[in-house]
Amino acid sequence: MAGGVFSGLRRFYLALYNWVVFVGWVQVFYLAVKTLMESGHENVYQAVENPLLLAQSAAVLEILHGLVGLVRSPISATLPQIGSRLYVTWGILYSFPEIRTHVFVSSLVISWSITEIIRYSFFGTKEAFGRGPSGLLWLRYSSFILLYPTGITSEVGLIYKALPYLKESGKYSFWMPNKWNFSFDYYYMAFVVLAIYVPGSPHMYGYMVGQRKKALRKAKQA
């Protein structure tokens, strides 16, 4: 009995979570496209900033979901993807307004929002009704083929474009002497992040290709 109640509460919570975040990403996509059509890419970030920050930050809960066993997604796959997106969202775009008018912002926001609209609608439907429509399942495990490269290119491009402003401002950096006897240079950390993208992106893409094969094969056998 207790197990059934817990299972029901789990499904209700995950369905609610997915649909709430889905609405947030729909808002991001709508505002981005509307702004692009009406006033150009220079104004996209300003239009989407608040819903983007909220929708992307909500993904932190997915790490907690994996840690407590609410979902079966491995933390080793979830953490790098969410971590890199939070870094770009807060550590680059939010922190350095000088790059917010770049065209990479538009390609980033659109790539992220389409990906997440598909993903959250699929999992929201799956949690609410036990399974997602076959067409939505195919989109969930196929849209990354195009959207992952455009998203990654935009992320790397924005970090690179931000480098002069990281260096000039010294933001988030501190140097010795200090009471901790420790120094940190946010500018050089950006190079470390960019270096991680080199092996990390092909590895993640290969992981998603494997997940796609597994999911579509399972759906075909069902």
pTM, full prediction: 0.92
Rounded to whole angstroms, how far apart are CA atoms 220 and 222? 6
How many Cβ atoms sit within 10 Å of the Cβ of residue 199?
Answer: 9
pLDDT of residue 3: 59
Question: Could you give the percent of the chain with pLDDT greater than 90?
Answer: 68
Arithmetic mean of pLDDT over the chain: 91
The DSSP call for residue 68 is H
pLDDT of residue 219: 80
pLDDT of residue 116: 96
How many Cβ atoms sit within 10 Å of the Cβ of residue 157?
Answer: 17
Tens digit of each residue's pLDDT (9 = 90 or more) over 101-144: 999 999 999 999 999 999 999 988 888 777 778 889 999 999 99
Which range among 11-15, 19-23, 37-41, 73-77 shows the weakest confidence by mean pLDDT?
73-77
Residues linked to residue 184 through DSSP beta bridges, in sequence order = 174
Task: Look at residue 89 and give its three-state secondary structure.
Answer: helix
Query: Apex CA 98: angle with CA 89 and CA 81, to 5°?
Result: 20
Contact 132, 125 (CB under 8 A): yes
Rounded to whole angstroms, how far apart are CA atoms 157 and 147? 15
Task: Give the helix/strand (H/E) hosting 216.
Answer: helix 186-221
pLDDT of residue 73: 78
Query: Can you give the residue ranges of every domain in the chain?
Result: 2-221
**Cα Rg of the chain (Å, integer):** 19
C-alpha closest to that of 172 among 186, 158, 182, 157: 186
Tens digit of each residue's pLDDT (9 = 90 or more) over 83-100: 999 999 999 999 999 999
pLDDT of residue 177: 77
Catalytic residues: 148, 155
Cα dihedral 121, 141, 28, 150, rounded to 10, equals: 180
pLDDT tier at 46, thresholds 50, 70, 90 = very high
pLDDT of residue 126: 85
Highest average pLDDT, of 2-16, 21-35, 174-188, comes from: 21-35
Contact 176, 183 (CB under 8 A): yes
